[in-house]
Structure 1
Amino acid sequence: MRPQKIDDARLIEGLMSVLQSKGFEGASLNDLAKASGLQKASLYHRFPGGKNEIAITVLLFIHEWIRENIYLVLTEKGVAPATKLQRAIQHIRQVYHNGEKTCILNALSLDSGLVVLGDEISKAMHLWLDAFTVLGVEMGLSTAQAKAKARQSLIQVQGSLVLAKGLGDPTQFHKALTDLKQLFINE
């Protein structure tokens, strides 16, 4: 039997949804295969390194998403800082489905996945922090102030996603995005 063909974006989204909901340790290869649309043998063929390789692939996808939708947006030249921030917030809203989805960085850092995946998680978080730091400096903050606000931006978004998931109510996520805008605009 020929291996199933599947679109890469759909594959990653399926794998990511399992890792978001179950974490690294909780995700079984059966769960990952089902969500990806591949047979288990095809999943092994595609990812011979197993769950570690799958998680790293998903994290590389997230890193690229942050680069394209946060970093490049917030560091774009010739665009007003408030406009850039609004675009980044819209991307954040979309990727987390208005607060309905758990953050993959959080989900993968909760258990022993951190040992295997810590470098990739850290790289993605640093890229986020760098982007918001650049924005803060552009808005006239000192580097130290911009770095502090960048850290706060990550805490606000990640924390609100934990609350939204735990409470079953995305209201905290929406408030965090409003607060994120105020964090940088109301200086």
Structure 2
Amino acid sequence: MRPKKIEDKKLILNLMSVLRKKGYEGSSLNQLAQAANLNKASLYHRFPGGKKEITDAVLDFAEEWVKEHIYNLLSDSSIPPKDRLREALKIISEDLYDHGHEMCLLRALSMDAGQGLFGNKIKGSMTTWIDAFTLLGLDFDYSKEEAAEKAVEVLVHIQGGLVVSESLGSVAPFKAVLEAIEKLYLKD
């Protein structure tokens, strides 16, 4: 068996970069193959289902990453809630969105045909985020209803901050949103 030209995780991250920027409809197989550093035949060999299978694999990877790095952290009651919040916001900023320079994969795939094809996975990922931040809110002693409202507000803030940052060509709005999220959870 020939060795793979590119490691699986690196392959998925490269494919994700195209989908984040272009969405499902805007991404061509040529762009995906180029990002993967593979020819189209090799890409089809890895993903016989084409662009849909590629996108499914990227979404599955992203969901597992969020569970591992965000959900598990925010639900770990052995760590004080304030510390979990700050660490999660740091991971979101640095690792997930490159300080506001990267767009959200879920947002990019929610447009055009993406919502129809991947709506259940997108909803599932959003629910994972909401569940994680709801658990955190409960540990901050908010009621279940308040915690759930704050969790949805977190998603709205993050998405809005990324869109405004992209539109203005400045990461300042995204950074401000992260600070606002921290204040949202901390009681006076």
TM-score w.r.t. the length of structure 2 is 0.96
- 1:89 corresponds in structure 2 to 89
Shift of 1:104: 0.3
Shift of 1:100: 0.2
> Moved runs in structure 1, 4+ residues, more than 3 A?
none
Distance 1:120 1:5 in 2: 29
- 1:40 corresponds in structure 2 to 40
Give per-residue Cα distances to partners, 1:111-163, cap 9 Å, x unaligned: 11111111111111000000000010111111000000000000000111111
- 2:115 corresponds in structure 1 to 114
Shift of 1:26: 0.4
Equivalent pair of 2:77/2:139 in contact (CA under 8 Å): no
> SS of 1:79's equivalent?
coil
- 1:6 corresponds in structure 2 to 6
Structure 2 unmatched runs, 5+: none
Equivalent pair of 1:3/1:42 in contact (CA under 8 Å): no
RMSD value, Cα = 1.1
Structure 1 unmatched runs, 5+: none
The answer to whether 1:79 aligns with 2:62 is no
> How many residues align structurally?
186
Distance 2:147 2:159 in 1: 18
Shift of 1:186: 3.0
Which amino acid in 2 is paired with 1:174? Answer: K
Give per-residue Cα distances to partners, 1:15-58, cap 9 Å, x unaligned: 00100111100000000000011111010010111111111111
- 2:183 corresponds in structure 1 to 182
Distance 2:40 2:46 in 1: 10
